[in-house]
Structure 1
């Protein structure tokens, strides 16, 4: 897996101060995407053990609320295989820090059906995520007043409540 950027003090992609990992590779190709260069799976640098170690270190300060993973798309099957063990490591190292993930896929496509992104890895990733921002960016529904999402169709899903209640629960 490649990644395009790491931000160590991000306040735009989740609650509080965050470390954000922008992965490469996306098949959604949303019109008006703010980072179309990340559609290319070969964009950026290779995600290595050293990259994982660096991110773990960046997450260590008390003022860091958690990790955000976006892209590209973290739920592309190629990215799932690398992100799942990394996310497990984050949760084991920092059980009190949250994980936010942005995807152009819907929760429904990640959890059912024949979509290529519906995998065992995706299911396990969803169990590690605290907040999932799902759905494609739709330029006609763009709204700059929205917090933590770009278009009105996207949802901010509380994954812990969604899993425990067996139905989608949106973050208030």
Structure 2
């Protein structure tokens, strides 16, 4: 697949449940985690979904002046880190923020020592990390499904050199 393309399960052009503010949410296709009780099990199969050009997604994003930002969900976005990092940079150039959901923890992502993963992390404003754990499901949590998942302020985390959680 071309680095200017993504394999996606779909998009929600206006979401208020995938991060703060009105968001354009991209659901990537393919996930190695396969969490029990996953909200998006149709995104697990790496051979499913459709291939789209990131510039066609960007066109839809910039057409909506009400958006606060873009959310990458899944599936597992870090399985397509390189094209998502490029899209995130293009989104930032339009003064929008980027939220990324991942089944990995930030510590697991850091330990991968993968250039594409590092690029996507560097372009992420809010990281919601950790696998969904059915036994820790809590519907009262903002923007996440289980108590083990963290909402990480990535700018403050980079500045402090340690994990800084978002204020709820």
TM-score over 0.5 (shorter chain)? yes
User: 5+ unaligned residues in a row in structure 1: which ranges?
Assistant: none
Task: Give me the TM-score of the superposition, normalised by structure 2.
Answer: 0.91
CA contact (8 A) 1:135 1:154 kept: yes
User: Can you list the C-alpha shifts for 1:75-119, whole angstroms capped at 9, x where unaligned?
Assistant: 12xx11321222222222x1x21100000000000012xx4xx41
Structure 2 match to 1:154:
149
Aligned Cα root-mean-square deviation (Å): 1.2
For residues 56 and 81 of structure 1, the distance between their equivalents in structure 2, rounded to whole angstroms, comes to: 16
Aligned pairs for 1:1-150 within 5 A: 1-48=6-53, 52-60=54-62, 61-76=64-79, 79-92=80-93, 94=94, 96-112=95-111, 115=112, 118-150=113-145
For residues 103 and 110 of structure 1, the distance between their equivalents in structure 2, rounded to whole angstroms, comes to: 9
CA contact (8 A) 1:19 1:55 kept: no
Structure 1 position 124, deviation (Å): 1.3
For residues 36 and 84 of structure 2, the distance between their equivalents in structure 1, rounded to whole angstroms, comes to: 26
For residues 163 and 21 of structure 2, the distance between their equivalents in structure 1, rounded to whole angstroms, comes to: 24
User: 5+ unaligned residues in a row in structure 2: which ranges?
Assistant: 1-5
Q: How many residues align?
A: 161
For residues 87 and 55 of structure 1, the distance between their equivalents in structure 2, rounded to whole angstroms, comes to: 11
Structure 1 position 12, deviation (Å): 0.6
For residues 54 and 12 of structure 1, the distance between their equivalents in structure 2, rounded to whole angstroms, comes to: 23
Task: Give me the TM-score of the superposition, normalised by structure 1.
Answer: 0.89
For residues 59 and 19 of structure 1, the distance between their equivalents in structure 2, rounded to whole angstroms, comes to: 7
Question: What SS does structure 2 have at the residue aligned with 1:64?
Answer: coil
Structure 1 position 55, deviation (Å): 2.2
CA contact (8 A) 2:34 2:44 kept: yes
After the TM superposition, which segments of 4 or more aligned residues of structure 1 sit over 4 Å from their partners? none
For residues 55 and 15 of structure 1, the distance between their equivalents in structure 2, rounded to whole angstroms, comes to: 20
For residues 70 and 63 of structure 1, the distance between their equivalents in structure 2, rounded to whole angstroms, comes to: 20
